[in-house]
Structure 1
Amino acid sequence: MRVSNLLRWPGTGFPDILETGDAELDDYLRVLDRHCLGSRSVRRQYVEEIRDNMLEARDQAVKAGQTVEAANASVVADFGPAEELARVQRQQRWRNFRRGAVTMGLSFALLMLLFQLLAGGLADPGPLVLAEMFVFHGLFFGFFMGFWFAFMFAPAAPEGGVSAQSQMDKADGYEVYSPGLSKVLAILLGLVMLILGGMTVAGMLGRGLMADVGVAANLLLTVLALHVAFGLRVAFTRIQVDGDSIRIRTLLREYYLDRDSISKFEELGRLQQAIYPLAGKTYQLHWQDEKGSHALYLGLNGEMVNGDRLRVLLRPE
């Protein structure tokens, strides 16, 4: 098996849903997909964006008086070799891998180093061992997380395709939600974090497997575990948009508001993002109605279907 095929798993074949029905364009898209990297969902988003742009350019050429065959040939020539577009996609995937591996690997290594220092200090197990563990944690976690987000994970696209503009032009309502798999993973990870939190609390009381770790380290792990567990509730947020009417259902409450009533919608700063327990980017939404002023912390992440579309809608004009 070629190494490049491993970077195209799962789903190495061309997604049939991307076919246009035109042999010339479909052949171009198949060549493009064959030279791209990433899972089927990652490749599909890139190829679908190119396909939509090609179809738009073809339609404009037909309106200008060209035949469909001539327009197809012109579009293929204008877009250039499919291999070149695929090269751009591969470079982008590798950039994402390097960036993710460094940032997430370094963050995890620093966290584990802090935990080890709180648990045993610098003398135990010693500076050299701590340095080796720092490198190991950074490389191990960074590699797998960088690989996941670069080659496996594709942010949720708007329903019906990745073309955001075509979705924005539709007048009918839509929903913003996390897919079922995200909910299942959130439940499983939440249970793991709650179990870890219970173990660390028991450790602070001198009981269980974490009794010998130390109070400071157990306290840190308790805070982190609970922070992650409570932040996962964003997977159960569901937002219904119907024209200018917006219905927001969180895990515990439900809100109704109109687009015109929104006074502010802004992303929290980095420090506030780190403190507030919501997975993904956290926004503060302010609106007014007959009952007065209201504020809500709203979490949106790349896994949520139509999430980008909602961000555009909520920003007050």
Structure 2
Amino acid sequence: LTDPNSVHATVLDLTATLGGMNSCTFNNNDGQTIGNLLSSCTKNVAYTLDGTHKKAPAHKYPTTLTNIFTDNNYLWKCDSSVTNPETEKDYAKKLGHSICNALKNAAQPLPSTADLSGATLKGDGMLLNVLRNCLPEYRGIQNSQDTKDNSALAKFTEKEYTDKAATFTTQYLTNLKNNKAQAKDDKETRPVSVTDTADAKKLSEVLSYAEGERNKKELEAEKKDAATSKPAVSKNEEKCKGKPQGECKEEDGCEFKDGECKAKVSTTKGSTGNITERNSVIIKAPIFLPYFLL
């Protein structure tokens, strides 16, 4: 790698001489603008301009041997001598460390689906994280990428997805190709194979349509429940309503409260029913809607 302080050695060196003047006040003074230099000179004859240049050197930059990886095995371990890239003063080392990280983060080719199995997937960090988040029995795992912490999850993955690629293909990949999901865009609603939803646009069409159908069914069920669950008036409410305080008695299931006689509300421990015979409707918000708005 080339240090910035050595780059000037490869730049073409030009020298220009302007003649035809008697004297210049700023002669041999550095840091002056062309305008200042010319205005400080007295003209004798017509201006003359002469120039010289040093031949450009061959395109061979001065370089410094710099470690990018820790060794020549290229095992994706960056030079360990760079402990803090932000404060590293050696330009070549800092640049080498950045190159190493760029190579590490370069897009890797996806493995062939024909080679997938539980044995290979148990080492897939993204899959392990998804399973850890989705399966309640494994949510206690702090680090899904740590081989000690995720041993139970890795065993589950290998067992669930089988240890043979051929079996995995039959049980999962073949089903994915045959299963059809509904997708909707501005033109039509159509069935698409699950394997064709890797494209972000197609995936959004499938997920949003499925979520819309689920929300539609829930709203229809809630409307139906609301129509059949109107508040019922209990016998005690009818009997107690309008009675004066003197006639509002507990033995009749009444109590005088807030200036009027009302049916006494009982609280029975362990009861799952509604003593006052009033029902409530729970409105469920569409869970996944925020994801489509992001």
TM-score (norm 1): 0.20
Bigger helix fraction: 1
Structure with larger RCO (C-alpha < 8 A, sep 6+): 1
Rg (Cα) greater in structure: 2
TM-score (norm 2): 0.22
